């Protein structure tokens, strides 16, 4: 039995999900004739109480499309220094949109309304880039799956409105935040102009993300998605997995969160572990004692059937997910206590 805790993207479709995919009604989505995609887009739009939605092959493409919608070349995007759009999308903000990022030195991938306000360049000072978008990430990936305080989001929303800035949410793991905090998609739909959500992380789909916004914005997004090469044909087989996951895999995220917390407790009790970050959802970030060699530690785990990765600068990450079973969990807790 191999135990893969590298990411929640390592899951494979369940038999029931595969059946839903197999049974999908499909058509050519470039002509908007794929019934399964149309159904998924309508479903997600309704969940967020937004006018429209668009299916994407990746979260990166959904985020990059949103950034393109909100900016012109030369503009600046305000985000946290740990943001996925800045660290992990291959420099797409500059490549696709010709925009730069103003990085906020936040806490666990999150920042305050005061920090957002201070990051805005005065629009009449033409020497500096024009601030045009504030982008948040919930849960914050590099922040260890941290969840934003919703009242702070409301305050940042007010800052965005007062300064005529776009407001985007990278909600790749928003489902985890909703379950952890008892929030609803509609709460988020009310505040953000655009929201991207992933189906291929905690929800366990093989592929897929969705962008929600108003009708006019999604109409523009359709062209950008086409330019980026994301116009797909009979992709309804993938959308059917998404619909299945939205109906069956959201509430169970609480189980992933529970397991992550139990892992955190065990790690905290081990002498070789220096520190475990607070755990709110399905991500555990921890640090080894300075005299423990990271590579040797990871190699030892690999030999014992457990796959983990480092995030650099001494950070190690564990992500629980749909394919991490109760049996694997017991085995992992046993094995990790023996690795010294
Ligand atoms: C995974 C992820 C994305 C999208 O990644 P893709 O691999 O392109 O689907 C975006 N934002 C965050 C925070 C993520 O964790």
Indicate the fold that domain 15-248 takes in CATH. Answer: 3.40.640
Model confidence at 229, in pLDDT bands (50, 70, 90)? very high
Q: What is the pLDDT of residues 233-254, one digit of tens each?
A: 999 999 999 999 999 999 999 9
Extract the tokens encoding 224: 């950008």
Q: What is the pLDDT of residues 6-57, one digit of tens each?
A: 999 999 999 999 999 999 999 999 999 999 999 999 999 999 999 999 999 9
CA distance linking residue 158 with residue 118, whole number of Å: 14
Is the CB of 59 inside a 6 Å radius of any atom of ligand 1? Answer: yes
Rg (CA), the chain: 20
Does residue 1 have a pLDDT over 90? no
| Of 229, 220, 225, residue with least CA distance to 210 | 225
Instruction: Give residue 312's pLDDT.
Output: 76
Q: Check if 137 has its Cβ closer than 6 Å to any atom of ligand 1.
A: yes
Instruction: Enumerate the CATH 3.40.640.10 domain ranges in the chain, comma separated.
Output: 15-248
Residue 155 confidence (pLDDT) above 90? yes
pLDDT tens track for 88-109:
999 999 999 999 999 999 999 9
118 Cα: distance to centroid of ligand 1 (angstroms): 27
Q: What is the pTM of this model?
A: 0.97
Q: What is the CATH number of domain 3-9+252-339?
A: 3.90.1150.10
What separation in Å is there between the alpha carbon of 318 and the centre of ligand 1? 16
Q: For 164, what's the count of Cα atoms within 13 Å in the CB-facing half-sphere?
A: 4
What are the start and end residues of each CATH 3.90.1150.10 domain in the chain? 3-9+252-339
């Amino acid at each position: 039995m191999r135990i893969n805790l590298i990411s929640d993207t390592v899951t494979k479709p369940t038999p029931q999900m595969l059946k839903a995919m197999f049974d999908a009604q499909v058509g050519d989505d470039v002509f908007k004739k794929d019934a399964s995609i149309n159904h998924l887009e309508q479903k997600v739009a309704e969940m967020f109480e937004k006018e429209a939605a668009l299916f994407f092959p990746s979260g990166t493409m959904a985020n990059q499309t949103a950034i393109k919608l909100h900016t012109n070349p030369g503009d600046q995007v305000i985000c946290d220094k740990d943001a996925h759009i800045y660290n992990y999308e291959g420099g797409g903000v500059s490549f696709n949109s010709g925009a730069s990022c103003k990085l906020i030195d936040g806490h666990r991938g999150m920042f305050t309304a005061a920090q957002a306000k201070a990051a805005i360049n005065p629009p009449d000072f033409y020497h500096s880039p024009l601030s045009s978008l504030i982008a948040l990430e919930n849960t914050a990936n590099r922040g260890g799956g941290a969840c934003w305080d919703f009242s702070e989001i409301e305050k940042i929303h007010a800052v965005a409105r007062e300064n005529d800035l776009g407001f985007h949410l990278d909600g790749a793991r928003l489902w985890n935040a909703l379950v952890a905090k008892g929030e609803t998609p509609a709460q988020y739909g009310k505040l953000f102009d655009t929201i991207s959500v992933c189906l291929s992380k905690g929800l366990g789909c093989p592929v897929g993300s969705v962008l929600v916004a108003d009708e006019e914005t999604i109409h523009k997004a359709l062209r950008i998605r086409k330019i980026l090469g994301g116009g797909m044909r009979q992709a309804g087989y993938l959308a059917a997995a998404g619909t299945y996951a939205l109906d069956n895999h959201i509430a169970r995220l609480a189980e992933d969160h529970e397991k992550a917390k139990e892992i955190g407790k065990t790690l905290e009790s081990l002498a070789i572990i220096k520190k475990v970050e607070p755990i709110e959802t399905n991500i555990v970030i921890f640090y080894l004692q300075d005299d423990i060699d990271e590579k040797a530690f990871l190699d030892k785990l690999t030999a014992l059937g457990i796959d983990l990765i480092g995030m650099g600068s001494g950070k190690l990450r564990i992500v629980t997910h749909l394919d991490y079973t109760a049996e694997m969990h017991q085995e992992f807790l046993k094995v990790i206590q023996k690795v010294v």
